[in-house]
Amino acid sequence: MTATLDAAVPLTGRRIPGSSVARAMAGNRKALAGLLILVFFVVLAAVPDWIAPGDPAASRYGRSLGASAHHLFGTTGFGQDVAAQVVHGTRPILLIAVLSGVFATLLSVLIGVSAAYLGGLWDDLLSLFTDVILVIPVLPLVVVIAGYFAHRSLTVMIAALVVTGWSYGARQLRAQALSLRGRDFLEAARVRGERRSYIIVVELLPNMTSLIIANFMNVALYSVLTASGLEFIGLGDTSSVDWGTMLYWAQNQAALQTDQYLWAAVPGLCIALLSTSFALLNNAFDEISNPALRPVRRLRG
Amino acid sequence: MTEVLLETTGLTRHFQIGGLLSRRTLHAVDDASLTIGRREIVALAGESGSGKSTVARLLALVYRPTAGEIRFEGRPLSRLRSRRDLLAYRRQVPMVFQDPFSSINPVYRVSHGIMRTLKLHRPELSAAERDAEAERVLTAVGLTPAADVLSRYPFELSGGQRQRIGFAQALACKPKLILADEPVSMLDVSIRIGLLNLMADLRETQDVSFLYITHDLAGARYVADRLVVMYGGHIVEKGPVEQVLAAPRHPYTSLLLSTVPDPRAPLPSVVDTGEPPKVVNPSPGCRFRARCPLAIDRCATETPRLRLLGPGDHAAACHVAGPVEEDS
Amino acid sequence: MADLLLDVRGLSVEYATARGRVLAVDDVSLALEPGEFLGIVGESGCGKSTLLFAIARLLGPTAAITAGQVYFKGQDLAQLADRQLAGLRWRDLSVVMQSAMNALNPVTTIGAQFRDALRAHGVRDGKEIASRSREVLGRVGIDPVHLRSYAHQLSGGMRQRAMIAMALLFNPDLVIMDEPTSALDVVAQRSLMAQIKGLQQEYGFAVVFVTHDMSLVSHYSDRLMVMYGGQIAEEGPTRTVFDTPRHPYSIGLLEAFPSIRGPRVRLTGIPGSPPDLADPPPGCRFAPRCPSVMAVCTQRPIELYDVPGAQVRCLLHAPGGVADD
């Protein structure tokens, strides 16, 4: 008595979930667009000195020059090359986005999944904690944290973003972990005799990768905008070369009122583009992980 | 009488429900005593809410009993404390779950669960021996070519095939008793027979017993040696399957019998629209009395106890039921 | 002969999938008279649910009717615009889904959902809404106090009965049911079926009932249709199909039921799995699993042949015997 497979479920061209994600991404226009933009900025961040050699903060050129062959986006009111500044400003913002994304997501996973899996009093306590942080208005809190530290560095910025950025994801991950908790394969692992830590890390978390990655993208996006915003209002390191700081100085020097549009527009556009790339990737991951959200191919009769 | 493998005495499990201000006790299982012998298939039948799944989980150590005792091979489970002892028991008594679509982790290949089982419960095996064992159990459940199936993901298999994987995982530990919690309820009717046959074959070839939890008496009759019927947390009848079904003593067993799907048989006229009870803070008395056509006054005040009514340990918990010989 | 209530002719439905177009329903025809109870039986994936959704025009955007007509009371549903369909829906034709827990709105009360349905079809008077809601609940044996309950507060059986009550709000002529009992256990299933049959006889609506469990419909349906691989395998009056099943698949289905009485015999069920509709086997779709398969069965597509009282898609019953190619 055998249920041989040749008469059974046919081979659906064995798709490995990993490679299917890659293939899904390739087929998803949003993912491709987001990825292209991100790759572009990663290249700028990786080798800024190749692309724009020299110190971008040095006032070497004529002031407030317009766009030309020498200066792709003209110069600032202090005689710095706008394009060079933008290129060199990519690395800090990207570092902020990625590092806050990673740490905030780690915190979200830790707190959210533990709350769901441990249940009971632990869940109540952790959820209460999450909710309190969640309810605190974000921007004022970030301003307070960033403003508190006299020494304004990347670390402080990242810390502020992580502290304010983890709670939303924790709620989402807790919800998803709770819904997965009812699945038999987790109970099966428990009945098998696996330790709780093993079950959470090996059995549960891999089922949540899409949400975790989407969370990362979300925090990255949030970080880009918030960090630039903080720099814009002068709470960043105003002597550093950053997109947000460029905006700060541009505003400080009334760039828009004095027809120096490029000085403000170019870093602004970069902020927008980088955030968009994270948003596109976020959406794309949502669609990839949840087939119900995918754009529907209508059947043409 | 076969050698006793597992025995429960007065097994009870209560759950505390409700908030701080309205704490109530849900009686999921009360005073359940049953035995499972070597190479025996015992069917545990009842509707949803009868307590049968809770019994399985008590035997699988998912819950600790509120009262009563479980003995496996003579030793009480309450004595199991260390992780090693618990693991040793779990190796002997694995479980197969009801829903083939949620009982296997979808992100890993089908080999994952089997390999984990082998690593946990048979650590003495080398990697090559593990591979061989995995193929052996897959072949034993009829999934061939085994190496090919092992490399597949769950979504590539049908419901029936996934349930076979569940059985393979259970077999990988060379168990003495497999707890099967409604393993065929979610499968198409035409596929169920294949899995019931598998259980009967495994009992012969792998020398393993089964606790087969179901709500379908026909399937129970097809595959089981003995039948235990539960209602509202109590065992209401038990005994050799043929005898219980041929001469049911408890009115609930008769009701279950009348609902059995059989396209060839004419439709019986008894139709019951009752609902299974949620047994919260129960009062004494038979829990079936609201739906019972034979209830008398005594049924409302005194909880019936299991009484021996026929040969082969055929017992029923009913004030009205008479011994089997009374039938003409 | 009375006018047919539902006359499906040559219906075919295709899905767009990642692997190309899949023919889920292949040239299915059925005729239903007013008040008739038709059971459609088959395994998962045989196309029975797709057929139902196609008739009710509930197909998702990835599927479409690619051939055939669905005449309901003279009108071809396949050609109707959404607005005209909306007028028909629930008044003349209603649907009961498989899992009431998924079909009932979890965040509103049962009464609110009844109210929505009634209002959507022009019943605005509060008193009339209340009395109609109470009346249909009474028909299915649910205490009207439950109009204020949420779906999760009712048991599985009660939820399904609430769904059936909702389907009967406007006394439709046809009620389509997609496995409404499969999420329940045996006792609840049996009582629900009896209730459905009772309601059907009392109010005279026709029923198309889809299930994978043949025994469930066998006592209640007037006609029975067995589907396999998107096609009709066998079709005819219930008693004919039951007492003399002809298609090897129907025979296999009937024998998949262990008997509660009579001798204990070992059954074999139907080995193998249903065909992949994206790449169906040539010739007869059941051939890979058929115990009576012949060489000629895989050579060409099989038609529906007439046999006394029924129709069968099997070469064993081809008129004039089987011609070898």
Q: For chain A, which domains are there?
A: 76-293 (1.10.3720.10)
pLDDT of residue B121: 94
Give tens-digit pLDDT for B221-242: 999 999 999 998 999 999 999 9
**Mean pLDDT of the C217-231 span:** 90
List residues in chain B touching A: CB distance below 8 A. 60-62, 86-87, 90-91, 94-95, 97-99, 102-108, 113, 116-117, 120-121, 142-145, 148-149, 151-153, 156-158, 160-161, 164, 166, 169, 194, 197-198, 201
Q: Coil, strand, or helix at residue B105?
A: coil
- The reply to whether B233 falls in a domain is yes
> Is the pLDDT assigned to residue B248 strictly greater than 80?
yes
Query: Band of the pLDDT at B5, cuts 50, 70, 90?
Result: very high
Residue B201 lies in a domain: no
Could you count the other beta carbons within 10 Å of the beta carbon of residue A175? 13
Q: Name the residue facing C62 among A4, A13, A299 (closest C-beta).
A: A299
Residues B44 and B170 in one domain: no
Are B71 and B183 in the same domain? yes
Q: What is the pLDDT of residues B164-191, one digit of tens each?
A: 999 999 999 999 999 999 999 888 877 8
Contact present, C52 and C210 (Cβ < 8 Å): yes
Mean pLDDT of chain B: 88
Task: Verify that B221 and B278 share a domain, yes or no.
Answer: yes
What integer is the mean pLDDT of C190-197? 85
Chain A CB contacts of B160 under 8 Å are: 3
pLDDT of B27 strictly over 50: yes
Mean pLDDT of B78-103: 92
Q: Which of A111-125, B102-116, B273-287, C48-62 has the lowest mean pLDDT?
A: B273-287
Q: Which residue has the higher pLDDT, B122 or B279?
A: B122
pLDDT of residue B259: 77
Domains along chain C?
1-92+172-268 (3.40.50.300), 106-169 (no CATH)
For residue B9, the model assigns a pLDDT of 93
Question: Same domain for B140 and B184?
Answer: no
Q: What is the DSSP letter of A199?
A: I
Q: Is C276 on the interface with A (CB under 8 A)?
A: yes
Same domain, B79 and B219: yes
For residue B47, give how far its alpha carbon lies from the nearest alpha carbon of chain C (Å): 6
Q: How many domains does chain B have?
A: 2
Average pLDDT over residues A235-249: 85
With contact defined as beta carbons under 8 Å apart, do C150 and C105 qualify?
no
Question: Rounded CA gap, C279 and C296, in Å?
Answer: 19
Retrieve residue B218's tokens: 């026909």
In a domain, B225, yes or no: yes
pLDDT number for residue A13: 42
Residue A9 pLDDT = 39
Q: Are residues B80 and B47 in the same domain?
A: yes
Report which of residues A164 and A10 the model is more confident about: A164
CB contact under 8 A, A299 and C276: no
Average pLDDT value for chain A: 82
Cβ within 8 Å, pair C259-B47: no
Asked if B77 and B13 sit in the same domain, the reply is: yes
Residue B132 placed within a domain = yes
Q: Do B259 and C259 touch (CB under 8 A)?
A: no
Instruction: Tell me the backbone φ, ψ of residue B177, rounded to 5 degrees.
Output: -140, 130
Give ∠ CA B153-B155-B159 in degrees, rounded to 5. 115
Subunit contact A296:C15, Cβ cutoff 8 A: no
Please indicate, yes or no, whether residues B184 and B61 belong to a single structural domain of this protein.
Answer: yes
DSSP-derived letter for residue B47 is -
Taking residues B52-79, report their average pLDDT.
93
Confidence bin at A11 (pLDDT 50/70/90): very low
Tell me how far apart the alpha carbons of residues B104 and B111 are, in angstroms, rounded to a whole number. Answer: 10
Q: Which helix (H) or strand (E) holds B95?
A: strand B95-96
What is the model's pLDDT at position A7?
Answer: 32
Residue A19 has pLDDT above 80, yes or no: no
pLDDT at A111 over 90: yes
**Residue B109 — φ and ψ, nearest 5°?**
-70, 165
Measured CA to CA in angstroms, residue B213 lies from A224, A240, B33, B96 at distances of 56, 70, 16, 10
Predicted confidence (pLDDT) at residue B152 exceeds the cutoff of 60: yes
- Statement: residue B7 has pLDDT above 50: yes
Kindly tell me if the per-residue pLDDT of C289 is higher than 70: yes
Using an 8 Å CB-CB cutoff, list chain A residues near B61: 191
- Assign A270 to helix, strand or coil: helix
Residue type, C37: F
ipTM: 0.87
The pLDDT value given to residue B278 = 66
Residue C74: half-sphere exposure toward Cβ, Cα within 13 Å: 2
Q: How confident is the model at residue A3 (pLDDT cuts 50, 70, 90)?
A: very low
Q: Are B53 and B211 in contact (CB under 8 A)?
A: no
User: By CA distance, what is B277's nearest residue in C?
Assistant: C155
The whole-angstrom separation of Cα C249 and Cα B219 is 21
Longest dimension (CA), chain A: 88
Q: Hey, which chains touch C, using 3+ CB pairs under 8 Å? A: A, B
Structure confidence at residue A276 as a pLDDT band (50, 70, 90):
very high
pLDDT of residue B269: 58
Interface probe with A: pick from B92, B105, B202, most Cβ of A within 10 Å: B105
Chain C contact present for A150, CB below 8 A: no
Q: Percent of chain B scored above 90 by pLDDT?
A: 53
3-state secondary structure chain C: CCCCCEEEEEEEEEEEECCEEEEEEEEEEEEECCCCEEEEECCCCCCHHHHHHHHCCCCCCCEEEEEEEEEECCEEHHHCCHHHHHHHECCCEEEECCCHHHHCCCCCEHHHHHHHHHHHCCCCCHHHHHHHHHHHHHHCCCCHHHHHCEHHHCCHHHHHHHHHHHHCCCCCCEEEEECCCCCCCHHHHHHHHHHHHHHHHHHCCEEEEEECCHHHHHCCCCEEEEEECCEEEEEEEHHHHHHCCCCHHHHHHHCCCCCCCCCCCCCCCCCCCCCCCCCCCCCCCCHHHCCCCCHHHHCCCCCCEEECCEEECCHHHCCCCCCCC
Q: Does pLDDT of B277 surpass 80?
A: no
Q: What are phi and psi of B149, to 5 degrees?
A: -65, -40
Return the SS3 of B39.
coil
C86 with C58: CB under 8 angstroms? no
CB contact at 8 A, B299 and B319: yes
Alpha carbon distances (Å) from C192 to C133, C140, C198, C216: 19, 9, 10, 10
pLDDT band at A6 (very low <50, low <70, confident <90, very high): very low
CATH number at residue B59: 3.40.50.300
Q: Are residues B18 and B39 in the same domain?
A: yes
Q: Which of A239-253, C30-44, C250-264 shows the lowest per-residue confidence on average (mean pLDDT)? A: C250-264
Using the beta-carbon criterion (under 8 Å), do B142 and A2 form an inter-chain contact? yes
Residue B162 lies in a domain: yes
With respect to residue B14, please indicate whether it lies within any of the assigned structural domains. Answer: yes
The set of residues, in sequence order, having a beta carbon less than 8 Å from that of C115 and lying 6+ positions away, is: C129, C133
**Which residues in chain A are contacts of C16 at CB distance < 8 A?**
297-299
Residues 6+ apart with CB under 8 A from C122: none
With CB atoms and an 8 Å threshold, state whether B272 touches C191: yes
- Distance, in angstroms, between A283 CA and closest chain B CA? 21
Same domain, B132 and B239: no
Give the residue among B142, A209, A102, A100 at the shortest CA–CA distance from C269: B142
Confidence category of residue A105, pLDDT binned at 50, 70, 90? very high
Nearest CA to CA, how far is B245 from chain C (Å)? 8
Across B1-10, C105-114, C273-282, least confident range: C273-282
Name the strand (E) or helix (H) holding B226. strand B226-231
Bridge-partner residues for B229, per DSSP?
Answer: B45, B237
pLDDT of A278 reads: 93
Q: Residue C84: what pLDDT?
A: 84
Report if residue B84 sits inside a domain: yes
CA–CA distance, A36 with A32 (Å, rounded to integer)? 6
Asked if B183 and B269 sit in the same domain, the reply is yes
Angle at C119 between CA C113 and CA C120, to 5 degrees: 90
Domain stop point among B120, B152, B174 = B174
Query: What pLDDT band is residue B162 in, cutting at 50, 70 and 90?
Result: very high
CB contacts of B263 in chain C (<8 Å) are: 214-215, 218, 242, 254, 257
**Strands B209-214 and B41-45: what pairing?**
parallel
Return the structure tokens found at C253: 């289905």
Q: Indicate whether A12 pLDDT > 70.
A: no
Do residues B28 and B169 both lie within one domain?
no
Q: What pLDDT, in 10s, does the model give residues A190-233?
A: 999 999 889 989 999 988 888 899 899 999 999 999 989 888 88
In a domain, B193, yes or no: no
Domain assignment of residue B166, given as a range: 99-174
